[in-house]
Structures are given as C-alpha cells and as structure tokens.
Structure 1
Amino acid sequence: MNHTANTNHDAVLRARVALLGSGTLPIRQQVAAYRLLARVTPLAYLPRLSIALYDYSRQEFAHDTRIALALRAESLDAARRIHALEPERLELLAAALDAYRELLDTAGSTEEAAAAARELASLGYRPGIPDQRFHRLAYH
C-alpha cells in the first residue's frame, strides 16, 4: 500500500494550490498543507514541514512552551525522516535539534537539553542560534 492510499486527493490538490497561490498563506495553514503533502510526497515536503513547524512554534506559540516544544519535536521528527540523499538533510537536522535543545533548556529540562546537545555534537555541530540556521535553509 502506498502513501496515497488513504489520502483525499482533493485535499492534496487544495493544499498544493494554497501553497502556490499569490497571497501569503498564514503559517498555520502552511503547516497544515505541509503536513498533508509530506505524507504524499515526503521527499519534497518534509524539509518544508520541518522549517514551517519551527516558524509556527516561534510565531504563534512563543508564549506557550508546552505547545512550542511539541511543534519543535514534530519539526525534529520531520527532519529525521528526510531522505539520506537530501543534500541539506544534515544541516536541517542540526537546526531542528538545536531549536529543540534551546527550548528544552529554556523550559528547564536540562537533562534532555544536554542529551540533545550531545546528539548535536555527534553530528559535528555545536549549539548555536537556530533562527539563523533555519533562516539560511528556508531562503537558500
């Protein structure tokens, strides 16, 4: 069974049209579209989903650490699922992991933040400024 077996093809078409529209789509709608499209075409949409989830966590839920953490965990999960042959996979994974680490640290989950920092180091990256990493990837 393929990824499209349980997918509403009209919804996929609407998501693609919304993303291609001339207007700026609110981040909440971008995330919804990328979540749907990542199930159908993961190679193309998982990187975009990861970036959009990070942006969503910052723009809409900066005041709610619990929801922001869940969104960053989802962003990290999307980054982990990106195909190994994707050229910027490692950079996106590091950005998502660093953003998750940063918020864990802010929330006082120091043990989990330290584990994320160790994983980041195992990838060959240092903790940094996730905003800059995501911004560079988003506008590359």
Structure 2
Amino acid sequence: MTFSAHAGHDAVLRARVALLSSQTLPARQEVAAYRVLVQVGPLAYLPLLAEALYEYSRQDFAHLPETALALRAEAVAAARRMYSLEPARDRLLITALDRYREQLALMDRQEELDAVEREMAQVAAGSGA
C-alpha cells in the first residue's frame, strides 16, 4: 500500500468517526467529512454534502455573500452529480438550485438568476413535475 492510499484510508476513517461521534459537529467539520466520504460513496454522501453545504453557507457565511454563493454553487454541483448518477433524485437538484437562486437574488445577479431558473424549469419538465 502506498502512502497516498494509506492517507486516503485514514481520511475516510477520520471522517466516518467524526460523523458517528456523539457530539454535534460544527458545519465546517461536517462539510469536510462529507467532502472526503463523497469520494468513496457518492450515492450515499452527495445528498448529505449538498445539504451540509447549504447549512454551512447559511449559518457561517450569511454575512459574506460571495462565500455563501460559492458554497451554494458547490451544493448545486453535488446535486447535479447525484442527478447524473440517479435521475430520480431531481428534487435534490431543484432544491439546491432554488437555494442558489435565493442567494443570487439577494446579491441582485439577474443574469445568473435567469440561467438558474431556466435550469430549474428544465429539470422539473424532465421529471414530469
């Protein structure tokens, strides 16, 4: 086993232990753990990562709109990846897009807002919703 493989295994183990601990993790640590675990179990952890990123943006970065937007964009990327793996998970993507849209509206970024709304409509139409 190479050092890098061992380090990856250690990171996964630490992430799992952190999430299973009896104490509530700060949002930052929860996001960090899910970012690691997505690499080994995307179907299980992408939805959890998307939700944790939203909470992190809301709790810790409400006063920093650019950072909050970047975290919500990462949540959308996780939801898109999940949707590509499992198209029945369209609600996850629509929710992530809606939360991203909310931040864009707060920042008055109309052009990007229009693109997100188009994508939401396209995903909703594809699901029959």
Q: Distance in 1 between matches of 2:77 and 2:104?
A: 15
1:95 aligns with 2:95: yes
The count of corresponding residues between Structure 1 and Structure 2 is 121
Distance 1:86 1:112, change over 3 A: closer
Identity score, percent: 58
For residues 6 and 111 of structure 1, what CA distance do their matches in structure 2 show?
45
Segments ≥4 residues shifted beyond 4 Å: 4-7
State the match for 2:22 in structure 1: 22
Structure 1 distance, partners of 2:44, 2:124, is 25
Flag structure 2 segments of 5+ consecutive residues without an equivalent: none
Tell me the SS of whatever aligns to 1:81.
Answer: helix
Q: Which has the higher helix share?
A: 2
User: Which TM-score applies when normalising by structure 1?
Assistant: 0.80
Quote the offset at 1:81 in angstroms: 0.6
Any residues of structure 2 matched to 1:81-120 within 5 Å, and which? Answer: 81-82=81-82, 83-85=84-86, 87=88, 89-120=89-120
Tell me the equivalent position of 1:42. Answer: 42
Cα distance change on mapping 1:43 and 1:86 into 2, 3 Å:
farther
| 5+ long unaligned stretches in structure 1 | 126-140
User: Is the deviation greater in 4-13 or in 59-68?
Assistant: 4-13
Larger Rg: 2
